[in-house]
Amino acid sequence: MKYNSQKVAYIFFATCIGLLFLQIIYGFIMGFAHMGFDGLHDVIPFNAARATHTNLLVVWLLTGFMGASYYIIPEEADRELFSVKLAYVQWASLVLVGVVAVAGFHLGWWEGRKFLEIPRPLDYLVVVNVLMFIFNVGYTALKGRRFTTTGLVLLAGLVSAALLYLPGMIYFDSQVLDSYFRWWVVHLWVEGVWELIMGSLLSFLLIKLTGVDREVIEKWLYVIVGITFLSGILGTGHHYYWIGTPKYWLMVGGVFSALEPLAFLGMAIYAVAMMRRGGRRHPNRVALFWTVGCGILSFVGAGFLGFAHTLPQVNLYTHGTLVTAMHGHLAFWGAYATIVFGMIAYTLPELTGRKLYSGWMPEWAFWTSNIGMLGMTGALAVAGVAQVYLERRMGMDFLAAQKAVEVHFFGMILAASLFTVGIVLFAINFIQHGLPVSEATVSSTREPEPEPPSTPAMARSV
């Protein structure tokens, strides 16, 4: 940690983990409901549990991105954050909006638009919150002593994510138009601007952890950003097949979304290649695990499993089934949750001055959570394919098909339990680090100046 103001990241990361636990609880409620044990139905009906589960996911990821930005932007801009106080106020208002939204879902105050269930009045609070955040990091970057590609891509991702929230706030009488613009938020976030955020976090972590030159890492970041936009923007068409939009979207959506995995493949190759190229091993091995894990799993969950149902010929059958849920889990986990975990794993020892990254616990947290999530994805895949076959090919009634796949949710719950063990271990490790220290630990964390070739690579530290 170079600047004391970077400490503000800690509270965002702590909140992040807390909200993930809450999300997991609602996941289990739905998992049991899918097995036929829906005892909580009268208190927490499936729709409320689902909205809470997915919105908490989005909120904790955004909280993680914000924490990451409060850490990265001062470091990349080479100055303190514009206002630490404003950052804490922004954090408090974010928590407030989250609590009101979740309580609202349980009281029936929601909009039945998947992922955008937060009622419009609350959206205005979200806008105020995000403006506070963007102003704080944006001003810091503008007044900074340097402007790096990593910082620029991160800022571009954050600002465009904020702008893309707006189309989801417009009122339409038409269901088609409402759906059309809903995807500008949902799709253009996860398959567009969030990828910029992910790419910049990857780049930051790779610079810190592998020792490869910044120039090399940032050059490839541009290439990835290019491929992302080339495929991702028109790739939105894969959500326009069956919502009442013109027929040409079948072709446009099919072709461009089929190219989207290339951006994720690029990120996987990027992370692995930089890791192999790095002559230096940072002692925080587990942070590198999460970083490279993100590259690889984002390709598997988003790229490979996204491609599996993106062509209209396939999507005709899989649309809105558990196949979608299968892809949704590994894509969100592989691309965005792992990079937030990578940021936490890297920054926590820097923030607290306690280097608790070795030992069995952080590594077991990594392996059990990832293997658990792969298991959940597998169980959902089997359930999803069975559902598609029974319901869409054989014409079985929706509820009868759901009953037939109940058994697969037993497997899912087992895998989810393994996953949860990993998250508990991660949280224990987080708590063991204690609170951030007040003095910035400058010496141990400065990005190394280029050193004469005679210096042994292993002797340097980040």
Minimum gap (Å) between residue 234 Cβ and Fe ion: 11
Nearer to Fe ion, 30 or 190 (CB): 190
| 117 is a site residue for ligand HEM (CB under 6 A) | no
The interface region with Fe ion, picked from 41-49, 68-76, 181-189, 218-226 by CB under 5 A, is 181-189
Nearer to Fe ion, 237 or 266 (CB): 237
| 229 is a site residue for ligand HEM (CB under 6 A) | no
338-352 helix and 46-77 helix, angle to the nearest 10 degrees: 50
The interface region with ligand HEM, picked from 62-70, 147-155, 254-262, 356-364 by CB under 6 A, is 254-262
Minimum gap (Å) between residue 273 Cβ and ligand HEM: 20
**Among residues 4, 93, 324, 432, which is the contact residue for ligand HEM, using CB under 6 A?**
324
The interface region with Fe ion, picked from 155-163, 182-190, 207-215, 440-448 by CB under 5 A, is 182-190
**Among residues 71, 91, 332, 366, which is the contact residue for ligand HEM, using CB under 6 A?**
332
Residue 360 CB partners (closer than 8 Å, separation 6+): none
| 331 is a site residue for ligand HEM (CB under 6 A) | yes
The interface region with ligand HEM, picked from 82-90, 164-172, 309-317, 440-448 by CB under 6 A, is 309-317
| 181 is a site residue for ligand HEM (CB under 6 A) | no
| 245 is a site residue for ligand HEM (CB under 6 A) | no
Nearer to Fe ion, 191 or 350 (CB): 191
Count Cβ atoms within 10 A of the Cβ of residue 262 and give its class: 0-12 exposed, 13-18 middle, 19 or more buried.
Answer: middle
**Among residues 187, 282, 329, 408, which is the contact residue for Fe ion, using CB under 5 A?**
187
**Among residues 21, 181, 307, 389, which is the contact residue for ligand HEM, using CB under 6 A?**
307
| 34 is a site residue for ligand HEM (CB under 6 A) | yes
**Among residues 90, 129, 310, 377, which is the contact residue for ligand HEM, using CB under 6 A?**
310
CA dist., res. 311 & res. 257, Å (int): 8
> Residue numbers of the site for ligand HEM (CB under 6 A)?
24, 27-28, 30-31, 34, 50, 53-54, 57, 114-115, 186, 190-191, 238-239, 257, 260-261, 298, 302-303, 306-307, 309-310, 315, 319-320, 324-325, 327-329, 331-333, 335, 337, 416, 419-420
